[in-house]
Amino acid sequence: MRVLVLGSGGREHAIVHSLAASPNVEAIYAAPGNGGTAGERVTNNVALDPDDAAAVVAFARDKAIDLAMIGPEGPLCNGLADALRSAGIPTVGPGKDGAALEGSKSFAKDLMRRANIPTAAAESFTDRQSALDYLATQTAPIVVKADGLAAGKGVTVATEMQQAIDAVEECFSGRFGSAGNVVVVEEFLDGPECSLLAFVDGTTVLPMSPAQDHKRVGDGDTGPNTGGMGVYSPVPGVDAKQYCRMLEILEVTARELHDAGIDFRGILYGGFILTPDGPKVLEYNARFGDPETQVLLPRLNTDLAEVLSAVANGKLEEFGPLSWTQHVAVSVVIASGGYPGEYTTGKPISGIADAQAIEGVTVYHAGTKLTLDGSLVTAGGRVLNVTAVAPDFETAIATAYQAVGRISFDGAFYRTDIAHRALASRQPGA
């Protein structure tokens, strides 16, 4: 199989790493890839822009690609999957219509309303004054979201009303570009978060293992939201009833998309809050989560190339259940100083080989690149995902942080409490 992987983050490195382990894969093109994908078996980085659909299609034809895997949401919302499928290339990732589940919070809310899927009560606004008038009738805590894509940073969970007012002003000031033209004000949901992802081939839904991200930049879930600072899987706090309910919600979502005439072939990601009334949907994504992928794929025993091919070709029904290792995975993000605000790039990175020498550790590159002289430098806010797989969370956490301690670059920082809840939720009464 000849595979094209679009994107350049930690998620794409994890996808390439798993595909490279498949005996069925003879060539991988990472477009544009990063400093980590460049070093994987049978993989070449190619200077292709995933937002340039015509160039991607031409490349895929030229290289006789059997499977295209689209990582990030931007190209999906721009219709890259539609362009590839029109050219006859089996593709993992929904078309523009299905990607709206992620690209437009109001599209997602409408679908949930139609299908009776539990979610936070919300109102959408297209002008500043109506949003502010509505806020005046509400109490904090309350959540303000830019409607469109804002890389996980367009959400403000306001504990004080003034923060909500500031967030509305910020959205309408154009900070998030057109993503902020519509602002959603949402009820605050209290409870632990959990993500459940599933492979979907248009009709069949094949669930993965639950994972839990850490969105806030600082220890103890403080500071602004980020794209994600660390993650673990499975989630010991999730019981069988909650898991079955989340899966049922993903199945209802897939059916609703199908009934609306949308052929969703890709990854359906449900972001849930486990409230006392059961799981409620916070958001959907129309692709693999980043960083969730960096703990899910290392635990997946099933050949990733096989399952992705089944997704793209509508053959998931024939595919048995996925096989997972009983071991757990913990991944810690090392970020550039200043992230999620301004940060500098081009800082030399050292210690990755030493970190990977520790048993069970894989370092997925997120924002890295190789310079012309072959040295590895930082190239993004989230730089590395240091993942450890081990029989239990105590060991996985200790191993991940031991590996993190071996890596350095100027300005590096990370959260020191990733997966703490996995330990807490196993203690009596916690």
384 binds ligand AMP (CB under 6 A): no
* Part in contact with ligand AMP (CB under 6 A); list of ranges 51-59, 188-196, 199-207, 298-306: 188-196
Least distance (Å) between residue 109 CB and ligand AMP? 11
Query: Which member of 152, 192, 218, 351 binds ligand AMP (CB under 6 A)?
Result: 152
Query: Which member of 186, 256, 290, 292 binds ligand AMP (CB under 6 A)?
Result: 186
107 binds ligand AMP (CB under 6 A): no
Q: Which of residues 250-289 bind ligand AMP (CB under 6 A)?
A: 271, 282-283
Token match 């299609």: residue?
Answer: 57
**Cβ distance to ligand AMP smaller for residue 157 or 361:** 157
* Part in contact with ligand AMP (CB under 6 A); list of ranges 53-61, 67-75, 83-91, 183-191: 183-191
Query: Which member of 193, 256, 290, 292 binds ligand AMP (CB under 6 A)?
Result: 193
Q: Which of residues 153-172 bind ligand AMP (CB under 6 A)?
A: 155, 157
CB burial string 325-336: b at 16+ within 10 A, e below: eebbbbbbbbbb
* Part in contact with ligand AMP (CB under 6 A); list of ranges 152-160, 261-269, 330-338, 370-378: 152-160
188 binds ligand AMP (CB under 6 A): yes
189 binds ligand AMP (CB under 6 A): yes
Give 248's strand partners. Answer: none
Beta strand pairing call for 328-336 and 382-390: antiparallel
**Cβ distance to ligand AMP smaller for residue 204 or 293:** 293
Least distance (Å) between residue 349 CB and ligand AMP? 28
Query: Which member of 91, 212, 225, 336 binds ligand AMP (CB under 6 A)?
Result: 225
Least distance (Å) between residue 225 CB and ligand AMP? 5
Span between the terminal Cα atoms of the chain, in Å: 47
**Cβ distance to ligand AMP smaller for residue 221 or 306:** 221
Please give the Cα distance from 195 to 400 (Å, whole number): 21
Token match 């190619």: residue?
Answer: 46
Q: Are 192 and 242 in contact (CB under 8 A)?
A: no
**Cβ distance to ligand AMP smaller for residue 100 or 155:** 155
**Cβ distance to ligand AMP smaller for residue 189 or 370:** 189
**Cβ distance to ligand AMP smaller for residue 229 or 334:** 229
Query: Which member of 13, 85, 214, 215 binds ligand AMP (CB under 6 A)?
Result: 215
**Cβ distance to ligand AMP smaller for residue 272 or 343:** 272
* Part in contact with ligand AMP (CB under 6 A); list of ranges 149-157, 308-316, 329-337, 403-411: 149-157
**Cβ distance to ligand AMP smaller for residue 19 or 155:** 155
Residue nearest to ligand AMP (CB): 283
Query: Which member of 60, 143, 235, 304 binds ligand AMP (CB under 6 A)?
Result: 143
Closest to 17 measured CA to CA, from 243, 288, 314: 288
Least distance (Å) between residue 98 CB and ligand AMP? 18
Size of the site for ligand AMP (CB under 6 A): 16
Least distance (Å) between residue 399 CB and ligand AMP? 26
Three-class secondary structure assignment of the chain:
CEEEEEECCHHHHHHHHHHHCCCCCCEEEEEECCCCHHHCCCEEECCCCCCCHHHHHHHHHHCCCCEEEECCHHHHHCCHHHHHHHCCCCEECCCHHHHHHHHCHHHHHHHHHHCCCCECCEEEECCHHHHHHHHCCCCCCEEEEECCCCCCCCEEEECCHHHHHHHHHHHHCCCCHHHHCCEEEEECCCCCEEEEEEEEECCCEEECCCEEECCEEECCCEEEECCCCEEEECCCCCCHHHHHHHHHHHHHHHHHHHHCCCCCEEEEEEEEEEECCEEEEEEEECCCCCCCHHHHHHHECCCHHHHHHHHHCCCHHHCCCCCECCCEEEEEEEEECCCCCCCCCCCECECHHHHHCCCCEEEEECCEEECCCCCEEECCCEEEEEEEEECCHHHHHHHHHHHHCCCECCCEECCCCCCHHHHHCCCCCC
Please give the Cα distance from 156 to 316 (Å, whole number): 38
210 binds ligand AMP (CB under 6 A): no
**Cβ distance to ligand AMP smaller for residue 122 or 132:** 122
Q: Which residues bind ligand AMP (CB under 6 A)?
A: 120, 143, 145, 152, 155, 157, 186-189, 193, 215, 225, 271, 282-283
